Structure 1
Amino acid sequence: MKVLVIGSGGREHVLAWKAARDQSVDQVYAAPGSPGMTDVAECTGISEHDQDAIVSFAKQNRIDLTIIGPEAPLLAGLADRLLDEKLMVFGPTQKAALIEGSKSFAKSIMKQYNIPTGSYEVFSDYDKAADYVKQQGAPIVVKADGLAAGKGVTVAFTEQEAFDALHDILNDEKFGEAGAEVVLEEFLEGEELSLMAFVHGETVVPMVGAQDHKRAYDGDKGPNTGGMGAYSPVPQFGDEDISRAVREVLQPAASALVKEGRFFTGILYAGLMMTAAGPKVIEFNARFGDPEAQVVLPRLESDMSAAIIGLLQGGKPELSWSKDAVLGVVAASIGYPGSYEKGKPIKHIPEADLLFFAGVKKEGSELQTGGGRVLLLAEKAAQLNEAKEKVYDKLQQLDDTYLFYRKDIGDKAIFRASSDI
């Protein structure tokens, strides 16, 4: 089988890495790919936004399966285009991907189909939104309605923080069209769980859980990012917690999209708050989480590509998962998620089996920073604390002149596990 992975980030690197290890796969391509992915994929350099070139490449090279990694091509209708050309693609159509593309749409689906989530209101006017904040008080969650690369969410612990976030989104138009509307949402208390599933219509095949760390700095301080590290499994949540989340969230969401004429094929991601009353949805994504994919897929022992093909052909594949833990830490450009410099050398990169590159480019033989999140280094071990020790031992080798990373990924789970002994 020939597999084409669309995208160039860390999520796409691990997708290509996993596909390259699948027994069913002979060749992996990436569009565009990156200099960090050349060990597992032939990088075409074709932009993920160039639908004509992607279709042409897929036809000429007789691609058997195209897996779309990032959200932007999905919302631009790349899956629709490939389907129109009778090509096999794993990723939702433009209509189905709206579950991620519009937070207000996702909230309306949850409300209509009784999928548990926090209360909310949608606004396009700053004054009306500010009045709502005054009525509700803080803490409150402020979200740009559209795609904002994981940076359009503010958990405001004071009313002033909420007013500032509203001003950035609605008045200063910090996120452009993505901020034409804002969703003000109830602050949910509990612990977060990222739960993803392979979905085709009403067939839902869940993965193991993961937890990521959104804040930029240690102790969950600083601004929200696209994710600074993740780990799997999440020992504080057992099999019954996962089953309940599938039963109350993922399965109803997949069924709701079918009923709404938005048949979903691809990865449905539920960002959950595990509250005292049960799982509640923080957000839905229409693709693999990043960095969650980098810690979940290394635990998948089954042939991913064959499982996807089986799902697309109407089956319900059974997946086998390693009991080992995987913990991964993101190294990001200094200044991220704000402004940062590109083109800085990445030196003394540790050797690791689970090293996934994101924002990188190459000048001659030198690998350089090309984005905010630059790489993720993960390790696998029998226990989470062992995986963490191995990761941070290796990260000490990395030249961090132009990079930074959190030092506390997984700490809460490891502390809780040690306290339970």
Structure 2
Amino acid sequence: MKVLVVGGGGREHALCWKIAQSPLVDTLYCAPGNPGIAQLAECVHIAADEIDALLDFARAESIDLTVVGPEVPLTMGIVDRFQEAGLEIFGPSRAAARIEGSKGFSKDLMARHNIPTAAYRSFSEHAAAVAYIREQGAPIVVKADGLAAGKGVIVAMDEATAIAAVDDIMLEQVFGSAGTSVVIEEFMDGEEASFFAFTDGKNILPLASSQDHKRVFDNDEGLNTGGMGAYSPAPVVTDELYDEIVETIVKPTVAGMAADGHPYAGILYVGLMIKDGRPRVVEFNARFGDPEAQPLLVRMKEDVVPILQACARGELKQTSLEWHDKAAVCVVMASGGYPGSFTRGHEIKGLEEAAQIDDLVVFHAGTRLVDGKVVNNGGRVLGVTGLGSDVATAIRKAYRGVETISWQDAHYRKDIGAKALKGGR
């Protein structure tokens, strides 16, 4: 069969890496792809948001299954367009993708269906949002309603920071149209975890637990990013808590989306805050997390393609997944200055040496090939992913890979996975 993966980041490299292993797949394409993906798939020079061109390509090449990586084409309705054309595609419809595309939509969904989350209010007027912050006090969380590449959430420890965030989002429009309205939430403390489940709109197939590291610097300091690293499994998600997440969050969310008239098919990401053994939802995403996809797909034992097909066809019967006993840790190497401004075009050295290390996979995220050399071309550049018999061993393997690779001003966190070594507390 012929498979097309849409996207060109680390998540898509991980998807291509896993899909390429399937005996069902004869030809793999990725649009637009990246230099790492090019070693596994034929890269097609079509951007992820060029839906008409992607549809034309899928028709011309008789693509059997399209797998959408990023959120933007999902919220633009790529799934609806492909389905209308009679093409099989993995991912939620435009209406269902609002679970990520609008914070207000997802919070209202949770309120309607009694899904545990933080108390909140939505605002489309700046003055009312500021007044609410002054009424509630700090700490408090300010979120741009729309898509902001993982950067539209400001955890404000004082009122001045919260009001400045509302000013930036609503008046300065630092996130563009994503900031037309804001959601202001109760501050939740605890430990974060990421939980994923495949679904066909009715049935669910939960994945192993994982944990992301959102802040740019060690000890969870600095600005939020798209993710500086991840590991799986996450000890904070005990077997008992895993079952509670499935029963009180995942199942009610999938059932609620169907009851509200926009069934959700694809992969559902649930960002969680866990305190005193109880989970609450921080946010939903309509796709695989990045960088959580990297350790999860490396640990997944079975062929992912039949699962993707079953979700796309509404025929998901499988109830459990097999996982390698090994733990996996992904350390993101980023461009200097990220998540702010950064310089592109620095040559990346050490990739060939890293490729020789056993139980290590280097996923490309923001890279480009220039005159035969791989250079940095984005904020998050590489996801260096190590496997080990336990998290501590996987951490050592990942950082061995990181130390092998270099480019000018590269930076990374040095504490990815450290929370797991403390027993998830």
Per the normalisation by structure 2, the TM-score is 0.96
Q: Quick one: distance in 2 between partners of 1:90 and 1:203? A: 15
**Does residue 393 of structure 1 match 2:394?**
no
Q: Quick one: distance in 2 between partners of 1:408 and 1:348? A: 22
CA contact (8 A) 2:200 2:314 kept: no
In the TM superposition, 1:37-116 aligns within 5 A as 37-116=37-116
The structural deviation recorded for 1:401 is 2.2
The structural deviation recorded for 1:394 is 2.1
Please give the per-residue CA displacement for 1:255-286, whole angstroms capped at 9, x wherever unaligned.
11111111111111100111237211100000
The structural deviation recorded for 1:416 is 3.0
Q: Quick one: distance in 2 between partners of 1:325 and 1:129? A: 43
Task: State the percentage of identical aligned residues.
Answer: 46
Match of 1:343 in 2: 345
Match of 2:263 in 1: 263
Partner amino acid, structure 2, of 1:269: Y
CA contact (8 A) 1:346 1:399 kept: yes
Match of 2:388 in 1: 381
CA contact (8 A) 2:201 2:314 kept: no
CA RMSD of aligned residues (A): 1.3
Match of 1:237 in 2: 237
The structural deviation recorded for 1:23 is 2.2
Matched residue count? 418
Match of 2:366 in 1: 359
Aligned equivalent of 1:329, options 313, 331, 338: 331
Match of 1:252 in 2: 252
Partner amino acid, structure 2, of 1:360: T
Match of 2:420 in 1: 413
In the TM superposition, 1:94-243 aligns within 5 A as 94-243=94-243
Aligned equivalent of 2:321, options 319, 322, 325: 319
CA contact (8 A) 1:24 1:303 kept: no
Comparing 126-135 and 355-364, the one that deviates more: 126-135
CA contact (8 A) 1:196 1:267 kept: yes
Q: Quick one: distance in 2 between partners of 1:397 and 1:201? A: 43
Q: Quick one: distance in 2 between partners of 1:413 and 1:4? A: 35
Comparing 395-404 and 310-319, the one that deviates more: 310-319
User: Which structure 1 residue ranges, 4+ long, deviate > 4 Å from structure 2?
Assistant: none
Match of 2:409 in 1: 402
Q: Quick one: distance in 2 between partners of 1:49 and 1:183? A: 26
CA contact (8 A) 1:381 1:387 kept: yes
Please give the per-residue CA displacement for 1:351-407, whole angstroms capped at 9, x wherever unaligned.
254110011111111111111000110101111000101111221122242210000
Partner amino acid, structure 2, of 1:199: T
Q: Which stretches in structure 2 are left out of the alignment for 5+ residues?
A: none
Q: Quick one: distance in 2 between partners of 1:322 and 1:387? A: 13
Q: Quick one: distance in 2 between partners of 1:144 and 1:195? A: 22
Partner amino acid, structure 2, of 1:93: S
CA contact (8 A) 2:204 2:316 kept: no
Per the normalisation by structure 1, the TM-score is 0.97
SS in 2 for 1:23: coil
**Does residue 5 of structure 1 match 2:5?**
yes
Partner amino acid, structure 2, of 1:339: S
CA contact (8 A) 2:214 2:220 kept: yes
